[in-house]
C-alpha cells in the first residue's frame, strides 16, 4: 500500500531512516524511528491507520508489525500522536490542540477536562451538538467567553463512551424520543418507529445508541429494555444501575467457571492449613450485614494478651487472571442500595464460601499477635488456616456486653 500526498508519491522506507543506526543498536529487528513516523504522517497530510503506516515502510515481518503497534501506542501515550475513532493516527500540535474528556451540562453546554490536568475548556451548546457526556475529544482553543473562561472548538471525537442511556419514553406528534435520566446528557434520543418495541408513553426504558449525534442530528437509539412505569416502587434503583452502567449480570464464562462450587469448603482445600476450628473466633458486624469478612478472638495471658484476627481467604477461590478475577476488577467493589446489592463476587462466594458464617468451615488468613499489658505488639505471625465462627455478634450486642461487664466491676 502506497499513499499519495500533494500529487507526489511518498518514498518512506525504513532503510532511509536517518536514525536507523540508533534503532539497530537498540533492537535486534529494528523498525522505523519515531521521527520518521512523524515525518511520514506529516508529509501524507492526513490520519493514517497502522496498516497504512506499516505498508509505507514495507513491514511484512510479524515481529516488526507488532513492534510498530507497540511504538505507535507509546507515541500516543507520550502525546506525539492521537488515535481517532476511525482507528487512525494523526499528529498533535500541543500548542493548539488539547485532548480530554467531555463533561456535559443539562443546559446544553459542556466542558473539556484535559488529560494533562490543565483547566477545563468551555464548550458552547453548538460545539456540544456532536458530543455526549463522557466522550473523549480533541479541541482547539478558540478564545475566551464572556466569563473569562477559555473556550474550545471541536476538532475530532476520539472515543464514544455513551453507548446506552436510561430515560423516559415519549411519543408526540408522530415523533418518539427518550429524555435521558442522566442530566449531563442534554440531547433527547430519537427513536425510529421500527425501534420502539413495546414501549409506551411515560415508561422508563433502556436505549442502545445506534447512531451518535452530529452537528445536524440528535442521537438515534433503539429500545432494548422496558423497566416500567415512572416512579414505580424500586424504579429509582433500576434507573441508577442502568444510568451508571453498573455491571449487574454475570458473564457466561464466569458462571461456567464457578458451576462446580458448592456451599461447603472441599476437604482438599483444608489440607496444609492451621486448624483453628476449636478456637472461639466470632464476627462482629452491623445488624443488617449480609456477609462477614473478618473474625476475632482474644485470650488473656500471664503478661498481656494473645489476639487472633482472621479474614476470609478469597484468594483461594479467585485465582489470578481467572474469569472471577477479571470480573472483580471490572466491578471493583460491591454496590449497596436499599434492599439490594450488586456484589463484586457471585453470591455463592460473597455470601457463602467467602463469608465467615457461624457454624460452618471457612478458609481464612490469620494474623496472630502477642501483646503486652501496655498494648505493645511483641510478636506477630501470619498463616493460612481453616476456622469455624462460633457466633455472629453485632456492634450493639458487644457494646451491651461491655457496659454490663463494666457495671459488674463497680
Confidence at residue 97, expressed as pLDDT on a 0 to 100 scale: 76
Query: What is the pTM (predicted TM-score) of this model?
Result: 0.58
pLDDT in tens, 153-177: 888 888 899 999 999 999 998 899 9
Residue 110: burial class (beta carbons within 10 Å; 0-12, 13-18, 19+):
buried
Residue 215 confidence (pLDDT) above 90: no
Confidence at residue 386, expressed as pLDDT on a 0 to 100 scale: 97
Q: Say if 97-159 and 164-243 have the same CATH topology.
A: yes
Euclidean distance between CA atoms 28 and 45, whole angstroms: 31
Confidence at residue 75, expressed as pLDDT on a 0 to 100 scale: 84
CATH C-level class of 4-90: mainly alpha
Which of these CATH numbers, 3.40.50.1000, 2.40.50.140, 3.30.70.120, 3.30.9.10, describes 97-159? 2.40.50.140
Confidence at residue 93, expressed as pLDDT on a 0 to 100 scale: 62
Euclidean distance between CA atoms 351 and 354, whole angstroms: 7
Euclidean distance between CA atoms 186 and 128, whole angstroms: 9
Which of these CATH numbers, 2.40.110.10, 3.40.50.2300, 1.10.230.10, 2.40.50.700, describes 164-243? 2.40.50.700
Residue 63 makes CB contacts below 8 A (sequence gap 6+) with: 29
pLDDT classification of 196: cutoffs 50, 70, 90? very high
Euclidean distance between CA atoms 282 and 22, whole angstroms: 65
The answer to whether the CB of 355 falls within 8 A of the CB of 348 is no
Euclidean distance between CA atoms 43 and 267, whole angstroms: 68
Half-sphere exposure of 323 (CA within 13 A, CB side): 11
Confidence at residue 16, expressed as pLDDT on a 0 to 100 scale: 67
| DSSP conformational letter for 16 | G
Domain coordinates in residue numbering, the chain = 4-90, 97-159, 164-243, 267-407
Alpha helices in 11-152 (DSSP H): 20-26, 34-44, 50-56, 62-77, 125-128
Residue 206 makes CB contacts below 8 A (sequence gap 6+) with: 164, 165, 166, 223, 224, 225, 226, 227, 242
pLDDT classification of 410: cutoffs 50, 70, 90? low
Residue 300 makes CB contacts below 8 A (sequence gap 6+) with: none
Residue that wins the pLDDT comparison between 272 and 245:
272
The answer to whether the CB of 247 falls within 8 A of the CB of 330 is yes
Give the closest residue to 387 by CA, choosing from 348, 350, 360.
360
Residue that wins the pLDDT comparison between 53 and 96:
53
Would you state the cell numbers that stand for residue 158, as one nine-digit string? 476520539
Amino acid at each position: 500500500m502506497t499513499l499519495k500526498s500533494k500529487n507526489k508519491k511518498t518514498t518512506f522506507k525504513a532503510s532511509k531512516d536517518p536514525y536507523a543506526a540508533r534503532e539497530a543498536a537498540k533492537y535486534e529487528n529494528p523498525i522505523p524511528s519515531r521521527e520518521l513516523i512523524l515525518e511520514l504522517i506529516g508529509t501524507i497530510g492526513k490520519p493514517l491507520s497502522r496498516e497504512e503506516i506499516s505498508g509505507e515502510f514495507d513491514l511484512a515481518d510479524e515481529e516488526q508489525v507488532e513492534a510498530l503497534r507497540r511504538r505507535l501506542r507509546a507515541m500516543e501515550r507520550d502525546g506525539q500522536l492521537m488515535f481517532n475513532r476511525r482507528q487512525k493516527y494523526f499528529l498533535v500540535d500541543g500548542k493548539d490542540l488539547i485532548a480530554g474528556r467531555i463533561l456535559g451540562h443539562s443546559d446544553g453546554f459542556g466542558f473539556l477536562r484535559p488529560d494533562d490536568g490543565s483547566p477545563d475548556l468551555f464548550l458552547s451548546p453548538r460545539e456540544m451538538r456532536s458530543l455526549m457526556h463522557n466522550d473523549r475529544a480533541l479541541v482547539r482553543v478558540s478564545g475566551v467567553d464572556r466569563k473569562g473562561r477559555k473556550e474550545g472548538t471541536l476538532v475530532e471525537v476520539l472515543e464514544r463512551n455513551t453507548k446506552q442511556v436510561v430515560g423516559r419514553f415519549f411519543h408526540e406528534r408522530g415523533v418518539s424520543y427518550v429524555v435521558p435520566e442522566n442530566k449531563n446528557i442534554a440531547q433527547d434520543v430519537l427513536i425510529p418507529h421500527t425501534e420502539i418495541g413495546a414501549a409506551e408513553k411515560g415508561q422508563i426504558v433502556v436505549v442502545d445508541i445506534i447512531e451518535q449525534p452530529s452537528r445536524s442530528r440528535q442521537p438515534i437509539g433503539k429500545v432494548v429494555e422496558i423497566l416500567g412505569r415512572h416512579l414505580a416502587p424500586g424504579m429509582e434503583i433500576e434507573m441508577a444501575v442502568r444510568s451508571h452502567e453498573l455491571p449487574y449480570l454475570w458473564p457466561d464464562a464466569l458462571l461456567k467457571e464457578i458451576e462446580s462450587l458448592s456451599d461447603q469448603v472441599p476437604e482438599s482445600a483444608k489440607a496444609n492449613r492451621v486448624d483453628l476450628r476449636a478456637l472461639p473466633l466470632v464476627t462482629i458486624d452491623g445488624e443488617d450485614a449480609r456477609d462477614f469478612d473478618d473474625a476475632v478472638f482474644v485470650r488473656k495471658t500471664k503478661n498481656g494478651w494473645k489476639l487472633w484476627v482472621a479474614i476470609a481467604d478469597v484468594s483461594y477461590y479467585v485465582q489470578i487472571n481467572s474469569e472471577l478475577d477479571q470480573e472483580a476488577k471490572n466491578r471493583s467493589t460491591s454496590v449497596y442500595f436499599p434492599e439490594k446489592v450488586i456484589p463484586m463476587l457471585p453470591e455463592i462466594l460473597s455470601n457463602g464460601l467467602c463469608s465467615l458464617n457461624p457454624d460452618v468451615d471457612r478458609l481464612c488468613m490469620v494474623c496472630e499477635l502477642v501483646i503486652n499489658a501496655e498494648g505493645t505488639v511483641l510478636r506477630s505471625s501470619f498463616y493460612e488456616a481453616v476456622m469455624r465462627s462460633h457466633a455472629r455478634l453485632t456492634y450493639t450486642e458487644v457494646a451491651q456486653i461491655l457496659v454490663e461487664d463494666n457495671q459488674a466491676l463497680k
